[in-house]
Chains A and B, each alone.
Chain A
Amino acid sequence: MLKWIVLAPLIGAIINGFFGKRLGEKLIGLIASASVAVSAVLAFFVFFTKLLPLPVGERLITEHFFTWIKVGNFQADFAYLLDPLSGIYILFITGVGLLIHIYATGYMHGDPGYYRFFTYLNLFMFMMLTLVLADNLLLLFVGWEGVGLCSYLLIGYYIRRQEAGDAAKKAFITNRIGDFGYMIAMFLVFTTFGTISFVAKGDVPSFLTQAAALSPEAIWTFGTMTAIALLLFVGATGKSAQIPLFVWLPDAMAGPTPVSALIHAATMVTAGVYLTARCSAVVVKSPTAMAVMAVIGAATAIFAATIGLAQNDIKKVLAYSTVSQLGYMFLACGVGAITAGVFHVVTHAFFKALLFLGSGSVIHGMHEEQDIRKMGGLKKYMPITFATMMAGWLAISGFPLLSGFFSKDEILWKTWSTESLPHGWGKFLWVIAALTALLTAIYMTRMMVMTFFGASRFGKAHGHDDHHGDHHGDDHGHHGDPHESPAVMWIPLAVLAVLSIVGGFIGVPAALGGSNHFEHFLEPVIAHVAPAGESAHALPVATDHGTPHGAPADHVAAASAAPAHADAHHDVGTERLFTVISVLLGFLGIGIGAAVWLKNPLKPMSKVLENKYYVDEIYETTVIQPLEHTSRDLLWKVVDVRIIDGFVNGAARTFAGLSGILRHTQSGYARNYAAVILIGAIIIIGYFGFLATR
């Protein structure tokens, strides 16, 4: 069953990839969407009928597809693993993916590369599902690289556009840097634990179980744990666009908007969080790594938020917003609230996919115009888009009772109340995070205001600029008014809007009268962090080997390792106070945004912010140019041309000379050759005979 969830999109991709050219648009869209629908239905079916009925501690379904590599004691299977964590992931991946597929059938209408687009998109679904359902690090890496590849293909989808190609390359290369971290982490895991599997194989427990069971006395292992955790985090920074590897994500907006929604907001970029959550047993062993994660997450969050404040491209705003929100998630992971991070992944998937699709709808309606300075007053042209985007906007801004409110609030509270970081760090990070929340509300409001409110500015400035798709939109009137998108596009918007509004209720925290189903559901597979300072002693020694149920208990970070109740000493009153604070921050941000930009939509922003702190330029001068110079002047002109080519050519010349002599042995007489073979045989037999008689 699990394998069909994964394979269904692959089958769709194969059909579209090989025969798509000859199929009509309708059929291609149908095949692509149907294949994802199959996997969505299966995913929901498996999740609700197979996984949920299992007892809480034993929620684990594995499926062995085939043994991929088996060398010595190294084993990597094509095997799938479904537990609460991957269950949640496949639900929103297939669900959101299906909506975006449907949306894209309308959005990509008339594009000459239609079948190519859907082939890539289906392939992406396959890879993403492989990633989250993988039962070992290597298969996860297959999905990891696969989604990177699909991301590359889709960012560079408009193959005639220079910037798309550049952005694709940038994304790929940046991701590769992160992948080195991932690979080294994988090697380290194997040498340390002797397995890379998330589940027990035979009598070898998974590395997560082994990590959870590490005794506090084995101090030497903590260096290794820190190294693994940090290297995994390096991988995550690449995939999830954290400082310093975030630069590719804003550029990735060169791809079609559904791609931005699916890959660069909802699914692929959250793979880093998934990895952290999946390997939480290792991560929580290293306070250092967690501190690094929290700091980098917080820094990324505020850094990207400030840049987002000054962007004028609607998708760039959203891209920086995504980076910022990803920073939040890592902050959550870093402060030990991994479930909160995953919760935010889910809610973020809803509202950010919604915002992206909404922006796509706007771009569509505006005939490929992406600059919000040239929009304004669109709400009367596209009421549905406006209404749905309102939901997304309010959700991300932290409007009470919407999805973003719950998840963000939880992260903020967990940051304040963290016990895994040294004293005072949590408070400091909370300030940054709260500031980010404020900024988020401001720039989102700015974007909404500039797009939908006020007077329309597109009349005077409308035209074709470099954002115009090369073929896209040819069948629309070039100078028509903005128009509402077709039903295939707004229906997914509406569904996502509903999800953005109510999606948060799966994880209402106890302090607000909920029971936080989400956290309790995830709890068994997420390792918990011991409070800082006493971490070395508080780590309970896992007794998994003795549990009679074997596999489930042996699985992942082990429920028994979790402290009985992290919120036992929660100050409910304080938590509510902080909820009020974050609500106020949200309203304040919306208020500021509305006040500033309703009055002056084209208010100039700081150059530094508009140019993204010149990060690209800094990278250009500090990394890329030195590299280029070294490569060109030293490696190419000296090492390659002189030394390597010298060797190669010299060897070739030497052999050419020797061959000139040796070729005379090639007489062409078969008997001659036979005689030579015989002489050789006599010599060899003689040698071995000599050895034997000696």
Chain B
Amino acid sequence: MIPLSWYLALSAVLFTIGVVGVIIQRNVIVLFMCVELMLNAVNLTLVAFSRFLGDMTGQLFVFIVMAVAAAEAAVGLAIIISLFRNRETLNIDEADLLKL
């Protein structure tokens, strides 16, 4: 039997990698993938707790997270495409019109 802490540790590592990826990557698509990685790390936690609590709610949350991720991917990629159309780049640092 695999202890719960193993899952949590793996989840934590993956999540942290995702976070660091958001900081060091400049390609907006990869950035996006890092966000997905973080979501997945959380999903692992949810499923693990679902198992260890014997409760289905966690798995249902994973399901909803996936639905949200799908919606997010659709919109996010559409934004990336229009960003690329307008700026000819995928570098996140080039998209800085929001700054003062």
Across the interface, do A671 and B23 meet the contact criterion of CB distance under 8 Å? yes
- Find B92's partner among A664, A669, A675 (CB 8 Å cutoff): A669
- Find B23's partner among A666, A668, A674 (CB 8 Å cutoff): A674
Across the interface, do A678 and B19 meet the contact criterion of CB distance under 8 Å? yes
Minimum CB–CB distance from B93 to chain A (whole Å) comes to 6
**Chain B residues in 8 Å Cβ range of A668:** 96-100
Tell me, in angstroms, the Cα distance from A463 to B1 when the chains sit together.
103
Tell me, in angstroms, the Cα distance from A671 to B93 when the chains sit together.
8
Interface string of B51-68 (1 = CB under 8 A from A): 000000000000000000
Q: In this assembly, does A663 line the interface, its C-beta being within 8 Å of a C-beta of chain B?
A: yes
| Given known contacts A675-B23, A678-B19, A667 and B99 CB-to-CB distance under 8 angstroms | yes
**Chain B residues in 8 Å Cβ range of A663:** 100
| Given known contacts A678-B19, A678-B23, A671 and B92 CB-to-CB distance under 8 angstroms | yes
Q: In this assembly, does B26 line the interface, its C-beta being within 8 Å of a C-beta of chain A?
A: yes
Across the interface, do A670 and B23 meet the contact criterion of CB distance under 8 Å? no
Q: Which B residue's beta carbon lies closest to that of A675?
A: B23
Q: Which B residue's beta carbon lies closest to that of A668?
A: B99
**Chain A residues in 8 Å Cβ range of B100:** 663-664, 666, 668
Across the interface, do A669 and B23 meet the contact criterion of CB distance under 8 Å? no
Tell me, in angstroms, the Cα distance from A675 to B23 when the chains sit together.
6
Across the interface, do A671 and B99 meet the contact criterion of CB distance under 8 Å? no
Across the interface, do B96 and A671 meet the contact criterion of CB distance under 8 Å? no
**Chain B residues in 8 Å Cβ range of A664:** 100
Which DSSP category, helix, strand, loop or mixed, fits chain A's interface?
helix
Minimum CB–CB distance from A693 to chain B (whole Å) comes to 16
Q: Which B residue's beta carbon lies closest to that of A665?
A: B100
Tell me, in angstroms, the Cα distance from A663 to B98 when the chains sit together.
12
Minimum CB–CB distance from A656 to chain B (whole Å) comes to 14
- Find A670's partner among B19, B24, B95 (CB 8 Å cutoff): B95
**Chain A residues in 8 Å Cβ range of B26:** 671
**Chain A residues in 8 Å Cβ range of B92:** 669-671
Tell me, in angstroms, the Cα distance from A671 to B94 when the chains sit together.
11
Q: Which A residue's beta carbon lies closest to that of B22?
A: A674
Tell me, in angstroms, the Cα distance from A670 to B99 when the chains sit together.
10
Across the interface, do B96 and A667 meet the contact criterion of CB distance under 8 Å? yes
Number of residues on chain A facing chain B (CB within 8 A): 11
Tell me, in angstroms, the Cα distance from A663 to B19 when the chains sit together.
25
Across the interface, do A669 and B22 meet the contact criterion of CB distance under 8 Å? no
**Chain A residues in 8 Å Cβ range of B98:** 666, 668
A-B contact count (CB 8 A): 33
**Chain A residues in 8 Å Cβ range of B22:** 671, 674
Minimum CB–CB distance from B39 to chain A (whole Å) comes to 15
**Chain A residues in 8 Å Cβ range of B23:** 671, 674-675, 678
Minimum CB–CB distance from B22 to chain A (whole Å) comes to 5
Q: Which of A658-694 contact B (CB under 8 A)?
A: 663-664, 666-671, 674-675, 678
**Chain A residues in 8 Å Cβ range of B31:** 670-671
Interface string of B66-99 (1 = CB under 8 A from A): 0000000000000000000000000011011111
**Chain A residues in 8 Å Cβ range of B99:** 666-669
Across the interface, do A669 and B93 meet the contact criterion of CB distance under 8 Å? yes
Tell me, in angstroms, the Cα distance from A493 to B81 when the chains sit together.
77
Minimum CB–CB distance from B50 to chain A (whole Å) comes to 23
Q: Which of A173-218 contact B (CB under 8 A)?
A: none
Tell me, in angstroms, the Cα distance from A675 to B20 when the chains sit together.
8
Tell me, in angstroms, the Cα distance from A668 to B93 when the chains sit together.
8
Q: Which A residue's beta carbon lies closest to that of B16?
A: A678
Q: Which of B1-59 contact A (CB under 8 A)?
A: 19, 22-26, 31
Minimum CB–CB distance from B32 to chain A (whole Å) comes to 11
Minimum CB–CB distance from B87 to chain A (whole Å) comes to 13
Minimum CB–CB distance from B82 to chain A (whole Å) comes to 16
**Chain A residues in 8 Å Cβ range of B93:** 669, 671
**Chain B residues in 8 Å Cβ range of A666:** 98-100
Tell me, in angstroms, the Cα distance from A678 to B93 when the chains sit together.
18
Point out which of B22, B95, B97 has the most chain A C-beta atoms below 10 A from its C-beta.
B22
Tell me, in angstroms, the Cα distance from A438 to B86 when the chains sit together.
92
Point out which of A663, A664, A675 has the most chain B C-beta atoms below 10 A from its C-beta.
A675
Point out which of A663, A666, A671 has the most chain B C-beta atoms below 10 A from its C-beta.
A671
Interface string of A644-667 (1 = CB under 8 A from B): 000000000000000000011011
Q: Which A residue's beta carbon lies closest to that of B21?
A: A674
**Chain A residues in 8 Å Cβ range of B25:** 671
Tell me, in angstroms, the Cα distance from A678 to B25 when the chains sit together.
15
Tell me, in angstroms, the Cα distance from A663 to B99 when the chains sit together.
9
Q: Which B residue's beta carbon lies closest to that of A674?
A: B22
Q: Which B residue's beta carbon lies closest to that of A663?
A: B100
Tell me, in angstroms, the Cα distance from A675 to B95 when the chains sit together.
17
**Chain A residues in 8 Å Cβ range of B97:** 668
Q: Which A residue's beta carbon lies closest to that of B95?
A: A670
Q: Which B residue's beta carbon lies closest to that of A678?
A: B19
Minimum CB–CB distance from B25 to chain A (whole Å) comes to 8
Across the interface, do B19 and A669 meet the contact criterion of CB distance under 8 Å? no
Minimum CB–CB distance from A345 to chain B (whole Å) comes to 60
Minimum CB–CB distance from A688 to chain B (whole Å) comes to 15
**Chain B residues in 8 Å Cβ range of A670:** 31, 92, 95
**Chain A residues in 8 Å Cβ range of B96:** 667-669
B residues whose Cβ falls under 8 Å from a Cβ of A: 19, 22-26, 31, 92-93, 95-100
- 12 additional A-B pairs beyond A668-B99, A671-B22, beta carbons within 8 Å, are A663-B100, A667-B99, A668-B96, A668-B97, A668-B98, A669-B92, A670-B95, A671-B23, A671-B24, A671-B26, A674-B23, A675-B23
10 A-B pairs within 8 Å (CB atoms) are namely A663-B100, A666-B100, A667-B99, A669-B92, A669-B99, A670-B31, A670-B92, A671-B93, A674-B22, A678-B23
Closest 5 A-B residue pairs measured CB to CB? A668-B99, A668-B96, A674-B22, A668-B98, A663-B100
